[in-house]
Amino acid sequence: MSRNTVKLATAVALSAGLVLSATACGSGSGSGTPAPTHSAYAASANQINPVDPSSLKQGGTLNFPVDQYSSQWNVLNADSQNELSIVNTMAPLLPSLYHSSADNKLTPNTDYLTGVTTAMVNGKMVSTYELNPKGKWSDGTPISWKDFQAVWQSSNGTNPKYNATSTTGYSQVASVAQGKDQFEVVVTYSSPFADWQSLFSPLYPASQIGTLDGFNNSYKDKIPVTAGPFKIQSMNPTTKVVTEVRDPNWWGSKPVLDQINFRTIDAQTEPSAFASGEIDLTDIGPQVSAYKKAKTVSGTDIRVAGAPNLRQLLLNGQSPMLTDQNVRQAIFQGINRIAIGQSDLSGLPWDIQSLNNHFLVNNANGYADNAGDLGKYDPSAAGAKLDAAGWKMGSNGYRSKGGKELDLTLEIPAGTPVATNESQLLVPMMKSIGIKLSVTIGAQDQFFNDVQAGKFDMTIFSGIGAIPFFPLTNSQASFQAPVKGNIGQNFSRLGSPELDAAMNKAGTDTDSATYLADINKADSLLWQLAVNLPLYQRPQIVGAKSTLANYGAFGFQDTDWTKIGFTK
- Give the CATH superfamily of 24-92+222-306+547-566: Periplasmic binding protein-like II (3.40.190.10)
Query: 100-217 architecture in CATH?
Result: Alpha-Beta Complex (3.90)
Contacts of 40 (CB under 8 A, 6+ apart): none
pLDDT in tens, 244-258: 999 999 999 999 999
The boundaries of every CATH 3.90.76.10 domain in the chain are 100-217
pLDDT in tens, 115-131: 999 999 999 999 999 99
The span from the CA of 213 to the CA of 205, in Å, is 14
The boundaries of every CATH 3.40.190.10 domain in the chain are 24-92+222-306+547-566
pLDDT in tens, 435-462: 999 999 988 668 888 888 999 999 998 8
Average confidence (pLDDT) over 220-239: 97
pLDDT band at 37 (very low <50, low <70, confident <90, very high): very low
The boundaries of every CATH 3.10.105.10 domain in the chain are 309-537
In order, the DSSP letters of 21-35 are EE--EE----TTPPP
In order, the DSSP letters of 176-214 are EEE-SSTTEEEEEESS--TTGGGTT-S---HHHHSSHHH
Please report the pLDDT score of residue 35 as a whole number.
38
- Is pTM beyond 0.85? Reply is no
CA distances 199 to 66, 79, 98, 151, 202, Å, are 25, 19, 10, 9, 8
The span from the CA of 330 to the CA of 399, in Å, is 13
Options 3.90.580.10, 3.30.70.20, 3.10.105.10, 1.10.510.10; CATH for 309-537 is 3.10.105.10
pLDDT in tens, 143-159: 999 999 999 999 999 99
